[in-house]
Structure 1
């Protein structure tokens, strides 16, 4: 349930960008990058089960966002406007993600 709320909240900035009519793959990347940043900023030492949920959400969202970022950067190399949008949303959590284990 908490993940659904987080997804809904992170999708709000996409409404502002809807005017730009971004390609679907770029919009999906932005959403994943925002989820990645959100979960990477959470930590709960007091609740081990919650921390496992957070770690799993980081691995899923950051891993997916990082793969999308690399694919989109290559795909939109010749389109500077889109490339700038992609790079602006490739936050530190996306850029530095390394799968655990």
Structure 2
């Protein structure tokens, strides 16, 4: 079991190296967005099993930190690089409108 973990870790790290090389060819603002958004998407899919209140607080904190503003930023980058097919292709991998709409209800 321990060797399976090591193998998985090695494959994961190698894939990160490949992704980093590909991201280095993107404009700096796009590469920064991709990095943030991938972190955001990671935590959006993180649900402790069995439920762990402390871990959920950590996950919720990271989601707020990494995901806030990403919908607007994605739209801005798509407009800015509308003529750059490589950038648009990379940005199209991200789901739009992931942030909850602001609450309009009054207490």
Length-normalised TM-score, structure 2: 0.65
Count residues in correspondence.
88
Whether 1:36 and 2:40 are equivalent positions in the alignment is yes
Whole-angstrom CA distance in 2 between matches of 1:37 and 1:60:
12
Describe the superposition over 1:48-86 as per-residue Cα deviations: whole angstroms up to 9, x where unpaired.
122111011112212243232121011111222211111
Larger radius of gyration: 2
Structure 1 residue ranges (4+ consecutive) displaced by more than 4 angstroms after TM superposition: none
Greater relative contact order: 1 or 2 (C-alpha under 8 angstroms, separation 6 or more)? 1
> Gaps spanning 5+ residues in structure 2: where?
1-12
> Gaps spanning 5+ residues in structure 1: where?
1-8
More helix by share: 1
Length-normalised TM-score, structure 1: 0.68
Instruction: State the superposition RMSD in angstroms.
Output: 2.6
Please state whether the residue corresponding to 1:96 is helix, strand or coil: coil
